[in-house]
Chain A
Amino acid sequence: MDEKEEKDKKQISRRNLLKGAGLVAGGVALSTTLPPLATEAFAKPTSRTSVGEPTFEVYDTDVLVIGSGLAGINAALTSFAEGANVLIADKGPFKASGGAGMNWGVIVRFLINNPQITYDFAINASYGMVNQKLCRAIVNNWMDIKMDQMLVNRGMTAFFRNPDGTMYIQEKPVGGAKVLYNYFPRHDQDEIVKQGIKVVDRTMITDLFVQDGKCIGAMGLNITTGTFRVFRAKAVVGCGGPAPWNYGWITVAPVSINSPDNTGDLDAIAYNHGCGLIDTEFVENDAMNIYPEGLAATCNGGFAADALEYRYLCDKDGVYWLRDIPMSQMNRGRFSQEIAKRVLEGKGSPNGGVYLDLRDPKAYESLFEREVYSRNVKAYKERFDIDVKGMMMEVALEQYESQGHPIIDETGATEIPGLYFGVGGGTRGARFPSTSGGTINGAIIAGKNAVKYAQNAPKIKKINWKPVHDEFNRIHALRTKKVAKPLAPHEVRHAIQRACFKALGPIKNGKTIAEAIKELERIKKYDLPRMALRNDTKQYNVEWQQAIENYYMVDLSLANCKSSLFREESRGTHFRTDFPKMDNDKWLCNVAVKKVNDKMVVEKRPIVWSEYPPAKVKEMLEKGLK
């Protein structure tokens, strides 16, 4: 035992002596104690002088769910129904955080007609990248739950209806499913509170608590007042959502409909603990308005053209160049790439998009079931004096979803025992076109299996608090740091976003990706250490949160770029001009990004198959392409 470990040991015994001195806060879920004061062994000199000794709150629960979106809701309600104590740590204000915190009417595949059709469709639509065992588990669960009934019993009142009051149901024969519109997840979030699940919101998880290779909880910052929180748990379910916040910047947001909460923290944290990430080269795009800038690329504050509206898109010369394509051959992936190609050919709008012609009454009619857009017609006129029905609206490709997450198996388990992911790498691949259903059912599976793990979780004999103290010090050092020629967190953030925007669009090429990697590595080496806050308050410090997130964003952006460069072919949403063909002989595999000896390593990983071996998948894909 070296000297440091000896001191650790003393620290633990001192903690036991101090136990009785801990505060117990009323109202907190299970137990809240004030952990011990640090000894010299833990407190680094810098933080010791500036922020004092580490103090933190400790919560204890069976299952910790991180995030409260579609995945978090379903993981939490499932674990709770299985009899576990459940606590949700939510980064934003609960019921308004992340994508599901936007109250816009989610589209949901409520009924699977034929599981085999859906399963085959998922494999095809993911371009063979989906984990077949996981996909089978998700589809089977989907069949079991009766989605419409489940959501109505959680409080949903009325899905979208036709003018005569009948239910608006869209048949998707290719996917073997029926679709409902306007599901509002806030009812589920109200249900969470009603049932007795504890929610600790405005709390961003900054690290996992990993001991002896097992996940025993997580820790992070209470953004409201700057206190540090430790969550001990027998199992953790990560439900952090996608991370397109690195994709460009237009005045208040990236070129993405997503939420500022979704900066990929959990994926980067898991990566730093040794989890492999897969599917980081795949994202999903859609065409959204880019003017006015304050409302640019917002699903709910603007207008969009997706595969449904492709016939009303025209280029800068007024040519409706997609009209001749039959609807049966149009899908979102093709749609995005056709636009990107048109822009590359020099036929795009001044801001790198094309135009949606809402002057055509049929174009407006095609928005019928998309109230989230049509409700903005009147609002644009009244609030901004913009008449969208009398103009060509400039629309550009935004990134609404990214698929890179830690590798999970068919139980939702990651490579770290005790850590599950609601949506993990391999759930969607190069495009799994029902994000809400895949997310809901994937999270239910993860929630169930997390409880099973928690029931048999290995007993922890002794807690080593050093990682908590280290993380406390790291977080506060970021807050109080003073450097020569400082960069504000938003300046570093925008540098990351600029780099990724050039490289990670719907049409990529090796040269620009390599440049982005160089720039991101420069940011990591030179800009992150220069980052300092302009105000060191602990009270709701937006800059502090941004500074912490920037570390995760750089790591995940590097994973996005390196996997994109590594995959030397085009597949689904990943399109390379220097490798424009799909190459099933070389690339019918996942690309995994792993941290090995402190370096980011990119490697091939065989697809996980059960029913269809790779040769059969290859045949399916090539037959489908003809």
Chain B
Amino acid sequence: MQVTIKKYDPTKDAEPYNKTYEVPWKKHMTVLEAIMYVHENHEPVGFDYSCRGRVCGRCSMMVNGEPAMACFTHIKNQANTLEPLRGFPVIRDFIVDKSKTHDAMGRILNRIIEKPITDREKILAPMDPELYKKINGIEWCCRCLSCQAACPVINEKKDQEKFIGPAGIVSTALRYYDPFDEGDRVTEAVQNGLFECIMCGRCNKACPADEIDHLKIYAELRKAAKDRGLKPKPRKA
């Protein structure tokens, strides 16, 4: 099997370049196994991973043009192209700088609340199972940012108003659903470009957490925004 890796060391190379390696394929092989093979048997690769189970988010990259977790994606017995995750500054080979988006997500995910919660009955109280399903689903977001790389609006659309991207909206949704949060998360979502999203669902396809239903989340936030008259007027052509 041929594996082409987009290599780049900004301290040495003027531009990223592609290099192709021969890797023996085996049944159920993962992309990470193929990269490890290249690293150990051909030449060193700058790559990062930790969990081997799509929960740390560190090994997200472009596999044949689509965002995927290297650790949890089967590599097909064909010519494969592996590139760093789309839309992020490259530190070296597959290592990209996700800190800008991670920082933005962290700020959104901080709960807005006046006073600490001290009523333990409230903490341990039953929750509507449907609401729990939505909240728990988003908890499985591993912040790999595959959704950001998949998003055609932030990566391809030239004239978009500022759109934070799927990761930011999903972060807002966690606090929108959080029974303890006191912030105006609907306004936050609208300000972060909720209505810029074209509802194509590519983020949902790229997301390694099957528990998160992106389109349902956007639809619920949009409905809440419309009900409050927050939907922006269509821009003039």
**Which A residues are closer than 8 A to B by beta carbons?**
92-93, 95-98, 101-105, 146, 148-149, 152-153, 155, 157-158, 160-161, 163-167, 169, 182, 184, 186-187, 189-191, 193-194, 224, 251-253, 259-261, 291-296, 298-302, 372, 375-376, 378-379, 383-384, 386, 488, 490, 533-535, 537-543
Q: Give me 14 A-to-B residue pairs in the complex whose CB atoms sit less than 8 angstroms apart, sorted by A's number.
A: A96-B57, A101-B50, A102-B51, A148-B124, A157-B180, A158-B135, A161-B132, A165-B126, A165-B129, A165-B131, A261-B50, A294-B71, A379-B210, A542-B44
**Which B residues are closer than 8 A to A by beta carbons?**
9-12, 27-30, 32-33, 36, 39-40, 43-58, 71-74, 91-93, 95, 98, 102-103, 106-107, 109-111, 116-118, 120, 123-129, 131-132, 135-136, 139-143, 174, 177-178, 180, 210-211
Contact status A187-B109, CB under 8 Å: yes
A91 to chain B, nearest CB (A): 11
Contacts of B47 in A (CB 8 A): 542
- Report the separation of the CA atoms of residues A26 and B184 in the bound assembly, to the nearest whole angstrom: 33
Contact status A490-B39, CB under 8 Å: yes
Which A residue's beta carbon lies closest to that of B180? A152
Contact status A95-B102, CB under 8 Å: yes
- Evaluate whether A167 and B124 lie within 8 angstroms (CB atoms) in the complex, with A261-B50, A301-B72 already known: yes
Contact status B109-A155, CB under 8 Å: yes
Contact status A164-B126, CB under 8 Å: yes
B40 to chain A, nearest CB (A): 5
Contact status A149-B117, CB under 8 Å: yes
B31 to chain A, nearest CB (A): 9
- Report the separation of the CA atoms of residues A152 and B123 in the bound assembly, to the nearest whole angstrom: 7
Contact status B132-A93, CB under 8 Å: no
Q: Which of A186, A291, A539, A541 contacts B10 (CB under 8 A)?
A: A539
Contact status B109-A149, CB under 8 Å: no
- Report the separation of the CA atoms of residues A141 and B79 in the bound assembly, to the nearest whole angstrom: 57
Contacts of B177 in A (CB 8 A): 157
Contact status A301-B71, CB under 8 Å: yes
Which A residue's beta carbon lies closest to that of B36? A252
Contact status B129-A294, CB under 8 Å: no
- Evaluate whether A157 and B30 lie within 8 angstroms (CB atoms) in the complex, with A152-B123, A537-B12, A538-B11 already known: no
- Report the separation of the CA atoms of residues A163 and B50 in the bound assembly, to the nearest whole angstrom: 32
Contacts of B58 in A (CB 8 A): 92-93, 96, 101
Contacts of B98 in A (CB 8 A): 93
Contact status B53-A534, CB under 8 Å: no
Contact status A101-B56, CB under 8 Å: yes
Contact status B11-A182, CB under 8 Å: no
A92 to chain B, nearest CB (A): 7
- Since A101-B51, A167-B125 are in contact, a sample of 6 more A-B pairs with Cβ atoms closer than 8 Å, ordered by chain A residue number, is A152-B117, A157-B177, A161-B136, A182-B139, A187-B109, A379-B72
Contacts of A165 in B (CB 8 A): 126-129, 131-132
Which B residue's beta carbon lies closest to that of A491? B40
Contacts of B124 in A (CB 8 A): 148, 167, 169
Contacts of B174 in A (CB 8 A): 157
Contact status A194-B110, CB under 8 Å: yes
Contact status A295-B110, CB under 8 Å: no
A289 to chain B, nearest CB (A): 11
Which A residue's beta carbon lies closest to that of B174? A157
Contact status B28-A193, CB under 8 Å: no
- Report the separation of the CA atoms of residues A430 and B10 in the bound assembly, to the nearest whole angstrom: 48
Q: Which of A252, A260, A293, A384 has the most CB of B within 10 A?
A: A252
- Evaluate whether A163 and B11 lie within 8 angstroms (CB atoms) in the complex, with A384-B74, A537-B92 already known: no
Contact status A543-B44, CB under 8 Å: yes
Contacts of B29 in A (CB 8 A): 292, 294
- Report the separation of the CA atoms of residues A98 and B74 in the bound assembly, to the nearest whole angstrom: 24
Which B residue's beta carbon lies closest to that of A93? B58
Q: Which of B40, B50, B73 contacts A260 (CB under 8 A)?
A: B50
Contact status A383-B50, CB under 8 Å: no
- Evaluate whether A102 and B120 lie within 8 angstroms (CB atoms) in the complex, with A252-B32, A540-B46, A542-B39 already known: no
Contacts of A296 in B (CB 8 A): 52
Contact status A490-B40, CB under 8 Å: yes
A56 to chain B, nearest CB (A): 18
Contacts of B210 in A (CB 8 A): 375, 378-379
Contact status B132-A158, CB under 8 Å: yes
A168 to chain B, nearest CB (A): 11
Contacts of B74 in A (CB 8 A): 383-384
- Evaluate whether A539 and B120 lie within 8 angstroms (CB atoms) in the complex, with A190-B106, A252-B32, A294-B29 already known: no
- Report the separation of the CA atoms of residues A152 and B124 in the bound assembly, to the nearest whole angstrom: 10
A50 to chain B, nearest CB (A): 16
- Report the separation of the CA atoms of residues A62 and B140 in the bound assembly, to the nearest whole angstrom: 35
Q: Which of A98, A148, A260 contacts B49 (CB under 8 A)?
A: A260
Contacts of B40 in A (CB 8 A): 488, 490
A261 to chain B, nearest CB (A): 7
Contact status B117-A92, CB under 8 Å: no
Contact status A540-B106, CB under 8 Å: no
Contacts of A149 in B (CB 8 A): 117-118, 120, 123
Contact status B109-A190, CB under 8 Å: yes
Contact status A300-B55, CB under 8 Å: yes
Which B residue's beta carbon lies closest to that of A262? B50
Contact status B30-A294, CB under 8 Å: yes
Contacts of B116 in A (CB 8 A): 153
Contact status A167-B126, CB under 8 Å: yes
Closest 8 CB pairs of A and B: A301-B53, A294-B30, A300-B53, A292-B28, A540-B92, A165-B129, A298-B52, A298-B53
Contacts of A93 in B (CB 8 A): 48, 58, 98
Q: Which of A163, A187, A386 has the most CB of B within 10 A?
A: A187
- Evaluate whether A97 and B139 lie within 8 angstroms (CB atoms) in the complex, with A157-B174, A535-B43 already known: no
- Evaluate whether A300 and B54 lie within 8 angstroms (CB atoms) in the complex, with A190-B106, A293-B33, A375-B211 already known: yes
B123 to chain A, nearest CB (A): 5
Contact status B53-A295, CB under 8 Å: yes
Which A residue's beta carbon lies closest to that of B118? A149
Contact status A148-B123, CB under 8 Å: yes
Which A residue's beta carbon lies closest to that of B211? A375
Contacts of B120 in A (CB 8 A): 146, 148-149
- Evaluate whether A96 and B136 lie within 8 angstroms (CB atoms) in the complex, with A103-B55, A155-B111, A379-B72 already known: no
Contact status B55-A383, CB under 8 Å: no
- Evaluate whether A299 and B143 lie within 8 angstroms (CB atoms) in the complex, with A148-B124, A158-B127, A542-B47 already known: no
Contact status A157-B135, CB under 8 Å: yes
B23 to chain A, nearest CB (A): 12
Contacts of A261 in B (CB 8 A): 50
Contacts of B123 in A (CB 8 A): 148-149, 152
Which A residue's beta carbon lies closest to that of B129? A165
Contact status B46-A542, CB under 8 Å: yes
- Evaluate whether A252 and B110 lie within 8 angstroms (CB atoms) in the complex, with A158-B127, A166-B126 already known: no
A173 to chain B, nearest CB (A): 19
Contact status A384-B139, CB under 8 Å: no
- Report the separation of the CA atoms of residues A261 and B56 in the bound assembly, to the nearest whole angstrom: 12
Contact status B73-A383, CB under 8 Å: yes
